[in-house]
């Protein structure tokens, strides 16, 4: 079912979401289950509520000399619902062996709009204004459709992965049937098939984050990958709501270690002398994407996102912060949560409360993208 979107332009796509990985055993429960084992084309029907168990360690022989994942089985119920790990899911399950065959992954094939309906409660909150949820629905649908169409997961694996997305922080979280509420189902189906395309009409990833802290960032300002049509836009809307402002102190020794690392990675504006003693900060403010230093009296520029990449998301919850020199180190004051690229969820929340429509919200954060209904 991978990548069906390209071929069936009128039908809503089915997205394959990996909901469990590297499992030794898998138990699937459902009513009147139908199980299809693909390696010997064996069908079995179960009557009433039953649990089907897969002992994943026993399939090593199937994978011998192949070193690629194998689609082992599919499971369906006429009710359209299946349980795994005490969580109910809509759609069908696929059981896939790991490349070496010593464990399995479980994948949920789910219609896109149902996937989005459950995702909204995890990535936002079902009590949020519906126009904010709709904006998030369009962003998450675009992200998912891009993953499907580009077959990115399979490309990274080097063979067919049988899934498009993981339900995890790595991609986006969603899929459980009972997470969806009337409001999130409404937000998903009211925007059915709608995605944001680049100004040139291309389907590319749409990013979102919890709170930008005053201004969103372009992908190249954070990850160095250039993405067409992205703009850095002002977002005074998220000030004072959601995640609290943060501050940290970082000692001079750690800053010096950072500079050595950044120098090795060629992330400084110029090469650094191996032996340096004085580090002086040029006065900084939160609106700047870069920090200027003098090291041994020579000027250097480094991007703030590089500091976050090195020190991590716990020390730097966002890319929106200012540095201040203190005796023995640096004081860092920041606002926001997340990478800051694309849709600011707290900003969307505030704007929806003010009566903005999802189209107006999306047009603010993605001024050069175009909203399009794909199916
Ligand atoms: Zn914001």
Higher pLDDT, 109 or 10: 109
Nearest Cα neighbor of 90 from 19, 144, 156 is 19
Nearest Cα neighbor of 147 from 123, 180, 115, 121 is 115
Q: Dump pLDDT digits (tens) for 40-67.
A: 899 999 999 999 999 887 777 776 767 7
Name residues whose C-beta falls within 8 Å of residue 113's C-beta, 6 or more positions apart in sequence: 12, 188, 189, 192
Beta bridge pairs of residue 254:
none
Q: Dump pLDDT digits (tens) for 301-314.
A: 999 999 999 999 99
Look at residue 4 and tell me whether its pLDDT is greater than 80.
no
Question: Ligand 1 centre and the CA of 2: distance in Å?
Answer: 34
pLDDT confidence band for 7 (50 / 70 / 90)? very low
Look at residue 5 and tell me whether its pLDDT is greater than 60.
no
Provide the whole-model pTM. 0.89
Question: Ligand 1 centre and the CA of 350: distance in Å?
Answer: 9
Question: Ligand 1 centre and the CA of 345: distance in Å?
Answer: 7
Question: Ligand 1 centre and the CA of 334: distance in Å?
Answer: 13
Nearest Cα neighbor of 171 from 115, 89, 128, 126 is 115
Question: Ligand 1 centre and the CA of 136: distance in Å?
Answer: 14
* Predicted local distance difference test score (pLDDT) of residue 159: 84
pLDDT confidence band for 9 (50 / 70 / 90)? low
Look at residue 2 and tell me whether its pLDDT is greater than 70.
no
Distance, CA of 125 to CA of 70 (rounded, Å): 37
Question: Ligand 1 centre and the CA of 101: distance in Å?
Answer: 45
* Predicted local distance difference test score (pLDDT) of residue 198: 97
Question: Ligand 1 centre and the CA of 246: distance in Å?
Answer: 15
pLDDT confidence band for 6 (50 / 70 / 90)? very low
* Predicted local distance difference test score (pLDDT) of residue 160: 87
Whether 153 and 161 have beta carbons less than 8 Å apart is answered as: yes
Question: Ligand 1 centre and the CA of 362: distance in Å?
Answer: 13
Question: Ligand 1 centre and the CA of 144: distance in Å?
Answer: 23
């Amino acid at each position: 079912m991978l990548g069906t979107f390209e071929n069936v332009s009128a039908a809503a796509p089915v997205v394959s979401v990996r909901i469990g990985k590297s499992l030794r055993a898998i138990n699937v429960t459902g009513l009147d289950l139908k199980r299809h084992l693909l390696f010997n084309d064996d069908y079995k029907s179960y009557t009433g509520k039953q649990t089907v168990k897969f002992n994943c360690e026993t399939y090593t022989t199937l994978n011998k000399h192949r070193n690629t994942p194998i689609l082992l089985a599919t499971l369906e119920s006429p009710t359209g619902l299946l349980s795994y790990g005490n969580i109910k899911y809509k759609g069908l399950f696929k059981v896939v062996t790991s490349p070496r065959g010593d464990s399995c992954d479980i994948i949920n094939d789910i219609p896109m709009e149902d996937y989005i309906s459950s995702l909204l409660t995890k990535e936002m909150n079902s009590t949020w204004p519906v126009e904010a949820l709709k904006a998030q629905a369009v962003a998450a649908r675009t992200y998912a459709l891009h993953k499907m169409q580009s077959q990115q997961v399979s490309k990274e694996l080097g063979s067919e992965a049988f899934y498009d997305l993981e339900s995890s922080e790595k991609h986006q979280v969603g899929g459980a049937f009972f997470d969806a509420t009337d409001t999130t189902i409404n937000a998903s189906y009211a925007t059915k098939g709608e995605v944001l395309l680049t100004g040139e009409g291309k389907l590319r990833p749409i990013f979102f984050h919890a709170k930008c802290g005053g201004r969103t960032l372009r992908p190249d300002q954070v990850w160095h990958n250039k993405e067409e049509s992205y703009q850095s836009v002002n977002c005074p809307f998220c000030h004072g709501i959601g995640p609290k402002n943060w501050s940290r102190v970082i000692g001079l020794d750690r800053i010096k270690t950072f500079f050595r690392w950044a120098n090795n990675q060629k992330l400084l504006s110029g090469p650094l002398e191996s032996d340096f003693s004085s580090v002086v900060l040029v006065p900084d403010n939160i609106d700047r994407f870069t920090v200027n230093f003098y090291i041994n009296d020579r000027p250097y520029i480094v991007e703030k996102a590089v500091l976050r990449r090195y020190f991590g998301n716990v020390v730097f919850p966002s890319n929106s912060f200012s540095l201040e020199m203190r005796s023995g180190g640096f004081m860092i004051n920041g606002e926001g949560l997340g990478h800051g690229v694309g849709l600011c969820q707290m900003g969307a929340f505030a704007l929806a409360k003010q009566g903005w429509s999802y189209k107006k919200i999306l047009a603010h954060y993605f001024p050069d993208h175009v909203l399009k209904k794909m199916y």
